[in-house]
Structure 1
Amino acid sequence: MRARLILLALVAVAGVARAQPAAEPQPLTIGESVTLEVLGAERSVNIVLPPDYAKEPDKRWPVIYQLDGAMTQDLMMGAGLMRWGALWGRSQDAIIVGIETRDRQRELLPPTGDTAERKRWPSAGESAMFRQWLADTVKPMIEGRYRTDGTAFLVGESAAGHFVVETWAVTPGLFTGYAAISPSLQWDGEALSRKPLGDQKRPPIYLSLADEGGATESGMLRLLGVLPHSQPYCFSDRRKELHHATSLHGLLPEALQYLLPTGADYLEEYGFTLRCEQRGGAG
């Protein structure tokens, strides 16, 4: 009898719930988008602001520039992982700027002398122009429209990781810090890892290697070998743990922890340790 009464009560509650009119869905806004043109193609620059941006009108924020940052690329993952790190106090909250790419080899890689690469990617080789566009158009726009704190970090993976390392090498002052996750250092016969770096002071850089092997691996190991002794870096060797396809979402939280540290004293207790070979510090 008691079971029957409980069942009747549940049915009645369900009927009331069904009878109530559904609430009208509201738009869920996560950011803003600007359309710009470079290399003859329009592309989106997507801005995701911290949740407290409007609530703290006097506060200024660091900026993370994420390559391959369209809505259909890595923007949502990058913004989500950044917010997750900030919620735990693992890394600082920041403004995310997602830079859409259209022809990645053209936009993110320099010219190559490798015949096979030129044949496979005939449009490749205009990374210098893409970098100039970031410096002359995108960064001034972000710094003019939003409350930035003067620090800016460039993040990329694979071909975008090569762009990060190249930017760090040729125009180091453009950003405050860099993160190159599984960078495609095999490009052009590993030329980037052979470039003389000299003793110029450069910002901190996060580097990682997954199971790519071959020239990608030898290029990374060569680069590590020529880093100046004074260069601050964090190298995460995950050759036995991660694949190229899993390295970005697996390592972006660590990269942000290195570049945007909070100084929280409980991180090791929570398992948020930097599992990387370090020299110097990022913050």
Structure 2
Amino acid sequence: MKKLVLSIFTAFFSLCALAQKDNKVTIGSIDSIQSKILNEQRKIWVYVPSSWTPESKQRYPVLYLLDGNDHFYSTVGIIQHLSQGIGNTICPEMIVVGIPNTDRIRDLTPTHVDAAPPFTDSLMLKTTGGGERFVSFIEKELIPHIDSLYPTQSYKILTGHSFGGLTVMNVAINHTKLFNSYICIDPSMWWDQMNLLNKTRNSLRENKFSGTTLYLGIANTLREGMEITKVRSDTTKGTRHIRSILNLDQYIKEQKQNGLRYESKYYSNEDHGSVPLIAEYDALRFIFDKYRFKLTPKDLTDPTVDLVGKFERHYQEVSKLLDYKLSPPEDMINELGGDFLQRKEYAKAEGLFKLNVANYPESYTVYDSYGDYFLAMGNKSKAIEYFKKALSIKENPGSRKKLNTLL
């Protein structure tokens, strides 16, 4: 059934999410947008979950990914692993928008510098300081473009590494409500004599960040022989990167009154280049720490457990957390209902199928499954009714065969 849905999705939306074409496995598609703000054509890499179908009209949170050409595949893989299947419901399925670079140091630096700082070449500095124009491009052109073409929810995440992390902090501090959550990985807070770091310290004291979540991943960039407990007192240029991040971490933790939901982690076994993968994983676990629905053996075996009520209460709570209506995943409920049906636990099966019909009334699969329930109960007229309903939404061989047999 998933392959059937995927084939419809691919043909209709011109996106290849885990689809095979010409014997190649592809993830996502390449879109583009002509930016008047940046005065250039920008390619955009877009992944949409394979669960999407035109019939269901399902919508998804969006993760915007800086340095998209470097981190797109790994980020999509992490989200797929954490969001798909009965066991892996740690975070919701998401659209991923990767933003490849054209002039990286221009777009990802908030201020212009003339004197060469550490880790950069003076020849690279001519275009620095375009960060605010780049943020304006994201806010006024890219996000409206994505919202107009793709099945988006209002919940948005911005994630970036290194200079991308610097941009994440610039947006989090100066354009806070543009995104709901921020993933900042080993950011280059040393930039421009720690100009943004100092502004961040003041902003954390003076402003409120309620409703905003931030995760900070810190790599081990210490030189050999240096310890994390001693680096703060070091004054050499070689430690400016990690010192600036540790100071950022300290400043955030000192201002708990501002309402920012925050977590940080120091990865002693990861360097600047290796840290994005594990930090992205941990960040999503933190952001969506209350999202996961946990099934217990009692839920599956005790007939007195109100499983439907448990699902409804949990997703009502998560909907409040994410500030948009969230329903139990259609596939999860359908598979659970099918399992109970096979075990002849008809009351639980019916409750789950009814829940899916209520939440996904434009999906043919929920009516087909409910028809299976009535068929198992010997209610021929109801089974016919629901198979016909499934076919009225979408012609499919499974429902058609069952209906023809009944007729």
- 2:225 aligns with none
Q: CA deviation at 1:120?
A: 4.4
Deviations 1:82-103 (A, max 9, x none): 1112232232210111111122
Q: Which has the higher contact order (CA 8 A, sep 6+)?
A: 1
| Counterpart-to-counterpart distance in 1, 2:112 and 2:30 | 33
TM-score computed with the length of structure 2 as normaliser: 0.56
CA shift digits 1:138-162 (9 cap, x unpaired): 1011112222221010011111011
Cα shift at 1:220? 1.7
Distance 2:55 2:261 in 1: 32
Q: Secondary structure at the match of 1:242?
A: coil
Aligned 1:106-255 pairs, distance under 5 A: 106-113=106-113, 115-117=115-117, 119-122=122-125, 123-195=127-199, 196-197=202-203, 198-201=206-209, 203-213=212-222, 214-227=239-252, 228-229=255-256, 230-238=259-267, 240-255=268-283
* Runs (5+) with no aligned partner, structure 1: 1-23, 267-281
Tell whether the 8 Å contact from 1:109 to 1:126 is kept in structure 2 after alignment: yes
What CA deviation, in whole Å up to 9, does each residue of 1:99-145 have, x standing for no partner?
A: 11122111111224461138242221101000000000110111122
Could you tell me whether the CA contact under 8 Å between 1:112 and 1:187 is conserved in 2?
A: no
1:185-241 CA distance string (max 9 Å, x none): 111112221111112225111101111241222212222233231321110111x21
In the alignment, does 2:29 pair up with 1:32?
Answer: yes
Which residue matches 1:79? Answer: 76
Work out the percentage of aligned pairs sharing the same amino acid. 23
Look up the equivalent residue of 1:33 and give its one-letter code.
I
Distance 2:112 2:129 in 1: 7
In structure 2, what is the Cα distance between the partners aligned to 1:112 and 1:189? 11
**Which residue type is aligned with residue 186 of structure 1?**
W
Contact preservation (8 Å) 1:110, 1:125: yes
Runs of 5+ consecutive residues of structure 2 not aligned to the other structure: 1-20, 223-238, 296-320, 323-407
Decide whether the 8 Å contact of 2:62 with 2:155 is kept in 1: yes
Structure with larger Rg: 2
Alpha-carbon distance in structure 1 between the residues aligned to 2:112 and 2:145? 31
The answer to which structure has the higher helix fraction is 2
Residue 36 of structure 1: CA displacement?
A: 2.1
